[in-house]
Amino acid sequence: MRKNGRTKPFNVVQGDRDFHGKKTWCVLSTVAGVDPTIKIMDSRHQSLRGPLRPKRSAALLGIFLSVVLSTALAGDAVIRLHRLSGPLYLVEDDHYVTANSLIYVGPSSVTVIGATWTPDTARILAQKIKHLTNLPIREVVDTSPDPEWSGGNGYWKSIGAKIVAIDVTADFLKDHWESVVAAARKNHPEFPDLPLVLPTQTYPGQCELQNGRVRAFYLGPSHTQADIFVYFPKEKVLDAGSILKERLGNMAKADVREYRNTLHKLQQLHLDIRTIISGHWSPVHGSELVDQYLKLLGESPQATRP
């Protein structure tokens, strides 16, 4: 800190309140050669205690710095909600790798598409939803066995929401969750070692929620063996999760031939699609994203579709 062109030997950082409810500040030495000194100050910058002994000072300094560091790291990642169309809101989650998804605010309840990365990120999203509506979150759809779409299951289950999945997704979670988490922790060492929390309601190949306003369905292997689509017929919006993106993305779990077949099956449904939500990179696209991704998979525009 500088004042009148001179370097002050201390930084004053607002801390917590003391036992009497007064605001406190942590005063840290900032000049090289000055012994680390910590004092706890009240709201009038009067010392509540004398200078601390070296061991205690170092311990408190470590605690203080760890709190500041963790707060800074947490502040780097945010979840944003934007209204997309009618009852649909776009979710952009910047934790770990940015993931885009949707929530549907129905007449009497909310449906969340994608459980988010962890119980902590799920809790943040739930708090954001409370700012939009007082309606309860009744359903959460696991759209993939990947952690950004199913890692938050533990939180949603704890608040009584039904965790919905297609059978193939639930089976993949049950059989491969440990390796899924291990891969996430390899790429993101700070990712927690999450226990498996399975969906509470599963369906053979498709399901309808919100009285048919939300339709989830599985067409075959794509980004993984068990990713699904979610379609909103009135809004003409398709949530494609990790299946469709502006870039090829991670293909470690994909079978390219089966991937193409799955996208052809999607085209053969002749859904009225105005908007596709991509799970990564730019979130909002038109229906042309299907053909664009087929090209990324190596299929020429003139290829004959089955």
Judgement on whether residues 176 and 93 belong to the same structural domain of the protein: yes
Domain boundary among 74, 109, 138: 74
Q: Which residue has the higher pLDDT, 52 or 244?
A: 244
Tokens representing 122 are 């799920």
Domain shared by 132 and 244, yes or no: yes
Q: Domain for residue 50, yes or no?
A: yes
Q: How far apart are CA 232 and CA 273, in angstroms?
A: 9
CA dist., res. 143 & res. 149, Å (int): 6
- Residue 299 has a pLDDT of 82
| H or E element that contains 63 | helix 54-76
13 in a domain, yes or no?
yes
What is the pLDDT at residue 305?
A: 35
The answer to whether 90 and 100 are in contact (CB under 8 A) is yes
* Integer Cα distance of 210 and 109 in angstroms: 8
Query: The sheet that has 137-141: what strands, in order across it?
Result: 79-85, 88-93, 99-105, 110-113, 137-141, 162-166, 201-203
Mean pLDDT, the chain, integer: 82
Mean pLDDT calculated for residue range 142-170? 98
Residues 242, 120 within the same domain: yes
Instruction: Give the model confidence (pLDDT) of 25-47 as tens digits.
Output: 333 333 333 333 333 344 333 44
Same domain? For 147 and 37 the reply is no
pLDDT score recorded for residue 85: 96
Does residue 305 belong to any structural domain of this protein?
A: no
Domain end call among 15, 46, 74: 74
> Which of 3, 7, 5, 47 has its CA nearest to residue 27?
47
Q: Give the model confidence (pLDDT) of 72-98 as tens digits.
A: 344 457 999 999 999 999 999 999 999
- Same-domain pairing of 106 and 13: no
Please give the single-letter amino acid code of residue 127: Q
Tell me: do 98 and 117 sit in the same domain.
yes
Residue 30 lies in a domain: yes
Q: How confident is the model at residue 17 (pLDDT cuts 50, 70, 90)?
A: very low
Model pLDDT for residues 201-215, shown as the tens digit of each residue: 999 999 999 999 999
pLDDT reading at 18 higher than 50:
no
Examine residue 18 and state whether it is found in any structural domain, yes or no.
Answer: yes
> At residue 105, what are phi and psi to the nearest 5 degrees?
-95, 100
Confidence label for 276 from pLDDT (cuts 50, 70 and 90): very high
Q: Is the dihedral of CA 258, 259, 264, 269 positive or negative?
A: positive
The per-residue pLDDT for 7 is 40
**Three-class SS of residue 45?**
coil
Do β-strands 162-166 and 38-41 pair in parallel, antiparallel, or remain unpaired? Answer: unpaired
Same domain flag for 183 and 68: no
What pLDDT digit, counting tens, does each position of 89-125 carry? 999 999 999 999 999 999 999 999 999 999 999 999 9
Q: Is the predicted pLDDT of residue 62 greater than 70, yes or no?
A: no
In a domain, 306, yes or no: no
Whole-prediction pTM value? Answer: 0.76
Last residue of a domain, one of 27, 52, 74: 74
Q: Does residue 89 sit in the same domain as residue 70?
A: no
pLDDT at 157 over 50: yes
Strand partners, 26: 13, 40
**Same domain membership, residue 15 and residue 157:** no
What kind and span of H or E run contains 227?
A: none
Closest CA to 59 of 30, 29, 38, 33: 38
Nearest by Cα to 149 from 116, 182, 193, 177: 116
Q: What percent of the chain has pLDDT over 70?
A: 73
Question: Does 275 or 20 have the greater pLDDT score?
Answer: 275
**pLDDT score recorded for residue 233:** 98
The pLDDT tens digits for 226-240 are: 999 999 999 999 999
Q: Count of domains in the chain?
A: 2
Q: Which residues span the domain enclosing 19?
A: 2-74
For residues 109 and 35, state if they share a domain: no
267 and 194 both lie in a single domain: yes
Domain contains 57 = yes
What CATH number did the domain enclosing 263 receive?
Answer: 3.60.15.10
Q: Is residue 301 part of a domain?
A: no
Residues 98 and 67 in one domain: no
- Identify the three-state secondary structure at position 53: coil
Structure tokens given for 55 = 């061991």
User: Residue 223 pLDDT > 50, yes or no?
Assistant: yes
